[in-house]
């Protein structure tokens, strides 16, 4: 009969540390992802006087819930996203910012998770 003895406290500590490291990696990845999306949205946004482009920002207040919001407080920002007769080529500037950075998002997530799971 072979008895296998292992220290369960050590394993729990190791798992807890891995969880903290993964959470930190995901939060850092989210920061990097949404800063890329924010910058791309500024490039894609319609430009008249530059108010909309300057106002696009990122809200990281809910990053602990793994949620980040790219937004603009300008009153006409929503209209320029969904209905833009003046500059139809810039319609859906926020949505296109995300899709244009989709390759970078996948790469950032893979890199963050692979570095912590090794």
Query: What pLDDT, in 10s, does the model give residues 7-30?
Result: 555 566 766 677 777 888 888 888
Q: Please tell me the distance from the alpha carbon of residue 104 to that of residue 108, in angstroms, as a whole number.
A: 6
Q: List CB contacts of 77: < 8 A, sequence separation 6 or more.
A: 52, 55, 56, 71
Q: How confident is the model at residue 42 (pLDDT cuts 50, 70, 90)?
A: very high
CB contact at 8 A, 118 and 18: no
Measure Cα distances from 59 to 6, 15, 33, 95, 108 in Å: 45, 30, 13, 17, 19
pTM for the full model? 0.74
Q: What is the pLDDT of residue 41?
A: 92
| 40, pLDDT greater than 70 | yes
Say which residue, 1 or 40, is predicted with more confidence: 40
Q: What count of other Cβ atoms lies within 10 Å of the Cβ of residue 85?
A: 7
Q: What is the pLDDT of residue 56?
A: 93
Q: How confident is the model at residue 118 (pLDDT cuts 50, 70, 90)?
A: low
Among 34-43, 84-93, 98-107, which is the least confidently predicted range? 84-93
| 84, pLDDT greater than 70 | yes
Q: What's phi and psi for 46, nearest 5 deg?
A: -65, 150
């Amino acid at each position: 009969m072979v008895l296998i003895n292992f220290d369960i406290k050590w394993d729990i500590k190791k798992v807890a540390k891995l969880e903290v490291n993964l959470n930190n990696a995901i939060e850092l990845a989210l920061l990097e992802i949404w800063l890329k999306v924010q910058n791309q949205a500024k490039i894609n946004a319609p430009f008249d006087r530059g108010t909309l482009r300057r106002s696009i920002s990122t809200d990281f207040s809910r990053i602990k819930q793994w949620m980040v919001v790219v937004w603009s407080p300008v009153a006409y920002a929503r209209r320029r996203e969904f209905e833009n007769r003046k500059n139809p080529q810039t319609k859906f500037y926020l949505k296109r910012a995300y899709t244009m950075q989709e390759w970078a998002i996948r790469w950032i997530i893979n890199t963050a998770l692979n570095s912590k799971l090794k």
